Structure 1
Amino acid sequence: MSLVCPVILGTVRSDRQGIRAGKFLVRALEARGHEAPLVDPEALALPLLDRMYKEYPKGEAPRALEDLAGLFRRADAFVVVSAEYNHSIPPALSNTLDHFLEEYYWRPSAICCYSAGQFGGVRAAMQLRAMLPEMGMPSIPSLLPIPRIHKALDADGRPAEDWLSRAADRFLDEMTWYAEAMGAQRAKGTPY
């Protein structure tokens, strides 16, 4: 079954490393036959949240928000790629996510976190574990933490360490299972 799985990046820094993880995951999802558009806050240049997408009069939201809303409505699952900034998530990620709400409902999220150090951004992932279900997209039980991202992936998102491809396969297997299960239930109707 082919799925639509947007890969949402979380950083806009000039020397950002998360783009490596984003490219890696897009490639891995596409190899499975899934549609995996990269949602890059740097390219989107969204304003700081003033109004959510749903708060704009119909047809008056900025083009980037209209396009994202359409993509998110088609999504079967979301892959969120987060750095760890001060034990939390990057502001660009929060800003990107916070523009929407209903578009996420009843779809799973899968968290890939990373850092330059040995912990792989797991403290940021714990913040996302609370945030994403509140937005309507519960996270799958597994994480894909990438420690020392600058060594684990090259600039094109190709793994330099064998463990990463194996871990990503298991992670994406689990995400696919949840996406298919929740998709089947969405097709029957939702509680509201």
Structure 2
Amino acid sequence: MPDRILVIYGSYRVDRLGIRLANYLVRGLSQRGAEAELIDAKAIGLPMLDRMYKEYPKGTVPAAMEALAEKIRSADAFIFVTGEYNWGPQPGLKNLTDHFLEEWFWRPAAVASYSAGRFSGVRSGTVWHGILSEMGMVVVSSTLAAGPITQTLDANAQPVGEGGKALEQSFPRFADDLAWWTEAAREQRTRRAPPY
């Protein structure tokens, strides 16, 4: 059975460059045999957080939120693709993530970051480790950082230049790390129910 991995992207900007990294990841994971799906926060369009998924009375959850909750529950693992806004996480990605809680539990997550500059969004990526851990996910130690993004991936999410070469070299370890934890978590869930 292939690993079901959600690649979650959260930029709402008009000229979204991080979508290149999200598409690169979906393609790369698919080529490795995973069932990878892009979850685009802007396309889903959840409102600013007022009520979490679990706080809606039964039968009143907005359709887009219900569909996403089901995808999260059925996923084996997650990759959060984050840009960096003033050294912090993108509000669109954080907003989507915060609509759910228990749905994320007991699965691994990985962080891939990007930026227009040479720091590749790593300051935001570091923040996401704590956020995702608090939300019940095991965050793998391998990270992926792409930047400057336009000198790493072209508009078709194809690697270019030295940045692209570095990304291609880093991706296998990143994907292997996530795959190891994905298998471990899936096997553990078949042997023993989570403690809560």
Structure 2-normalised TM-score? 0.95
* CA–CA separation in structure 1 for the residues paired with 2:195 and 2:86: 37
Counterpart position of 2:51: 51
Which deviates more from structure 2 when the two are superposed, residues 60-69 or residues 160-169?
Answer: 160-169
Q: Provide the secondary structure at the position in 2 that maps to 1:6.
A: strand
Instruction: Give, as a single letter, the amino acid of the residue that structure 1 aligns with 2:92.
Output: A
Answer yes or no: is 1:182 the counterpart of 2:185. yes
Q: 1:39-60, CA deviations, whole angstroms, 9 ceiling, x for partnerless residues?
A: 1011111100111111111221
* CA–CA separation in structure 1 for the residues paired with 2:65 and 2:45: 10
Deviation of 1:158 after TM superposition, in Å, equals 1.2
Q: 1:59-112, CA deviations, whole angstroms, 9 ceiling, x for partnerless residues?
A: 211111111011001111100000010000010011010000111100010000
* CA–CA separation in structure 2 for the residues paired with 1:153 and 1:190: 39
Deviation of 1:163 after TM superposition, in Å, equals 2.1
Answer yes or no: is 1:162 the counterpart of 2:177. no
More strand by share: 2
* CA–CA separation in structure 2 for the residues paired with 1:90 and 1:39: 15
Instruction: Give, as a single letter, the amino acid of the residue that structure 2 aligns with 1:180.
Output: E
- Aligned alpha-carbon RMSD (Å): 0.9
Q: Provide the secondary structure at the position in 2 that maps to 1:110.
A: strand
Structure with the larger RCO, 1 or 2 (CA within 8 Å, 6+ apart)? 1
Counterpart position of 1:32: 32
| Contact 2:101-2:135 within 8 A present in 1 as well | yes
Q: Any unmatched runs of 5+ in structure 1?
A: none
Structure 1-normalised TM-score? 0.97
Deviation of 1:154 after TM superposition, in Å, equals 0.9
Answer yes or no: is 1:67 the counterpart of 2:67. yes
Correspondence 1:40-189 to 2 at 5 A: 40-160=40-160, 161-187=164-190, 188-189=192-193
* CA–CA separation in structure 1 for the residues paired with 2:115 and 2:124: 10
Deviation of 1:138 after TM superposition, in Å, equals 2.2
Runs of 4+ displaced beyond 6 Å = none
